Amino acid sequence: MPEQLTAGEQLARDIIDRVESLILEAEREQKPLELDPFRERLFELFVMAEATGFVLDGDADLPDLSSDGVGHELAQRWNLADAVRSSMEQQARLQGEQLVKMRLMWSFMRLWMEWTYAWQRWEEFHPTENSDPTT
């Protein structure tokens, strides 16, 4: 029987699937995520994730679309933990495909964390008419 997901869980899975698809497209085209069109499309997915309210760490009852949460899910899908463990045990470098995926993961996580930080501090640096500048 297929796993029953809540609407929020299904939305989170869809966003992660789309992030993965975008990262794999960048890999196929051998283009960095930090440059458009990939950066632009990834940012649009970040905005969607932020709108769900699932980007902030901490609530175990909600899906985790933080950089750590998405990164953890992608690492599981790509078996990166096993690859890193094996590499460390053998005292060898990661194989080419795993190394490429790891670099893409780092790029994704760095961008996602930077956007999260900036998004959280937006109001602090862009006060509205009704906001109290002393707070």
The mean of the pLDDT values for the chain is: 86
The answer to whether position 1 is within a domain reads: no
Tell me, yes or no, if the pTM score tops 0.85.
Answer: no
Residue 91 has pLDDT above 90, yes or no: no
The answer to whether position 125 is within a domain reads: no
Classify residue 41 by burial, with Cβ atoms within 10 Å: 0-12, 13-18, 19+: middle
Q: Which pLDDT value is given to residue 84? A: 66
Q: Give residue 94's pLDDT band: very low, low, confident or very high (50, 70, 90).
A: low
User: Domain range for residue 81?
Assistant: 7-56+63-115
The answer to whether position 133 is within a domain reads: no
Instruction: Give me Rg for the CA atoms of the chain.
Output: 17
Domain tally, the chain: 1
The answer to whether position 122 is within a domain reads: no
Residues 91-117 have a mean pLDDT of: 85
Spatial separation of the C-alpha atoms in residues 47 and 43, rounded to whole Å: 6
Residue 2 has pLDDT above 70, yes or no: no
The answer to whether position 127 is within a domain reads: no
Q: Give residue 76's pLDDT band: very low, low, confident or very high (50, 70, 90).
A: very high
